Structure 1
Amino acid sequence: MTIKKPLYVQFGDKIRAMIQNGDLKYGQSIPSERELSETYSIDRKTIRKGLALLVEEELLVRIPGKGTYVSKPKIAYSMEEMGGYTQLFQEIGMRPSSRVIFTGQVSCGYRLSKVFGIPKDAALYKIVRIRMGDDEPIALETTYLPYHLVEDIEKIDFGIYSLYEIYAENGISPSRIRETVEAVELGAIEAKHLNLPVGEPAFLIIDTTYDNQGAVIEYTQGLTNSKRMMMIKVLQ
């Protein structure tokens, strides 16, 4: 005997398949419950329950007052896929550049001590940059790495050099990245740096980079406008 799935599960399966097939892409907004109800001839309560399943799976994320967007779960990258914004922009024919907001030594603190597995009073080096593509701000990026990982790090101009270039020159071998992505709204400071309205939907992308011994050598938080990142993904 075949047991028929509840209607909300069937609807969730349909939207999941559209995401997995690329019909609904990372960063794209989902039509409203009313529009989905009219399209699929399903009541809005059923639509809401089906979407809730995908939110639980982290395939969708809701931003209050804005809508529901296609997200993505945690991803582990191989070295072949690593390289950062500089490599990404070069691959799609955009001219990469960076505007440095801050560099300097900071204390690790409780939260980052857990990330790096080091004492909370240990020293980290902090880099805050606006990552540009063809002189347009694409992302606001804050990076932390162990202070003594790179010799004379304070002499390096991170407006010119990428961190991966510095790693290569210093014999540091990133092995893998653990990435999480979350949909957020831009605050006043972030919106100003990215030349966008306050409250604009954005992605908070958190990358934790490990060496081949499993030690964390970099922790980066990047805020990027969802529409601009979608444009880059399409060009890629």
Structure 2
Amino acid sequence: MSAYGDQRSEPLIERNHPDPLYVQLRNLLKAKIDQREWATNEKLPSERELVTQYGVSRITVRQALKELEHLGYLQSRPGKGIYVSEPKPSYELEIVRSFTQTAIENRLRPGMRLLTGEVIKAGEEIARSLSLPVGSEVVYLERLRLLNDLPVVVQRDWFSAAMTPGILKLDWTAENRSLYSEFEQTYGVFPARGQSTVSARLATDTEAALLQMEIPAAVLTLDQVAYDATNRTVNISAAAYHPLRYPLTLTQMNQRR
């Protein structure tokens, strides 16, 4: 019997294995969650118990638990311990569907904090993207979007002020106010198609703080341009997503019949 296993037929942690000890432990604990040996919201054994059970150091245990927490499998509850996280919903990537609509369809409560709302003069890049003359008045909205009170995305939008007169007079502190709903219901502007670019990068200090992430942290980025049925540019947006709280998914269909 390896010194790194216990006497209860637990899988062994092998010192001579090519994977580091914490990776082996992480994979063993993850398997327990995947196989539902530990149920959602079940409390894990203490660090001391895991040290004894698997014959590894406390540092190894902490590193394995931290990685599983970052991957979204575990949730630390201050003063209570570490628990198995609830399965995260996935969010289909669709340009003309609002954040609010997606949240409601996933049975989640949308929320919002307005960070910036102002009319600016379009520089060359923004003007070109919106198909407007340089110097045109453009509305800039920066919002922190929330699901069940957890911050999930920092979203920035630019669109023509002439197309949406008075839009900044609306109450942008309302939890479920949707930009696309306002486009459609208030201004008769209907986003019909668009283009998306998905990437990843390190979060800025501000983004990390807003999304409750420890630096260095990576965010998913989604840059989009939406057009109406006449190919007029409706808006451009740039969003930074918390990769665990709001994982983006893309469904592709085989067009051949």
What TM-score, normalized by structure 1, do the two folds share? 0.62
What is the CA-CA distance between 1:124 and the residue it aligns to?
0.3
Is 1:165 paired with 2:165? no
Detail structure 1 runs of 4+ shifted over 4 Å in the superposition: none
1:30 equivalent in structure 2: none
1:147 equivalent in structure 2: 161
Q: How many residues are aligned here?
A: 157
Give SS of 1:145's match: strand
Q: Please list the CA deviations of residues 159-192 of structure 1 after superposition, one character each: whole Å capped at 9, or x if unmatched.
A: 3221111112121111112111011111111111
Is 1:221 paired with 2:238? yes
Give me the whole-angstrom Cα distance separating, in 2, the residues matched to 1:216 and 1:227.
31
What is the CA-CA distance between 1:225 and the residue it aligns to?
1.4
1:97 equivalent in structure 2: 111
Is 1:125 paired with 2:139? yes
Give me the whole-angstrom Cα distance separating, in 1, the residues matched to 2:131 and 2:107.
38
RMSD: 2.1
Give me the whole-angstrom Cα distance separating, in 2, the residues matched to 1:207 and 1:131.
17
- Equivalent positions of 1:16-95 (< 5 A) are 82-95=96-109
5+ residue gaps in structure 1? 1-33, 36-75
Aligned residue among 156, 181, 186 for 2:170: 156
One-letter amino acid matched to 1:117: S
One-letter amino acid matched to 1:151: P
Contact 2:122 2:136 in 1 (8 A): yes
Give me the whole-angstrom Cα distance separating, in 2, the residues matched to 1:159 and 1:216.
26
1:42 equivalent in structure 2: none
Equivalent pairs: percent with the same residue?
19
* Higher percent of residues as helix: 1
What is the CA-CA distance between 1:82 and the residue it aligns to?
2.5
Give me the whole-angstrom Cα distance separating, in 1, the residues matched to 2:189 and 2:138.
17
What is the CA-CA distance between 1:154 and the residue it aligns to?
2.0
One-letter amino acid matched to 2:201: V
1:68 equivalent in structure 2: none
2:225 equivalent in structure 1: 208
What TM-score, normalized by structure 2, do the two folds share? 0.57
Larger Cα-atom Rg: 2
What is the CA-CA distance between 1:132 and the residue it aligns to?
0.3
Is 1:109 paired with 2:109? no
1:27 equivalent in structure 2: none
What is the CA-CA distance between 1:158 and the residue it aligns to?
2.4
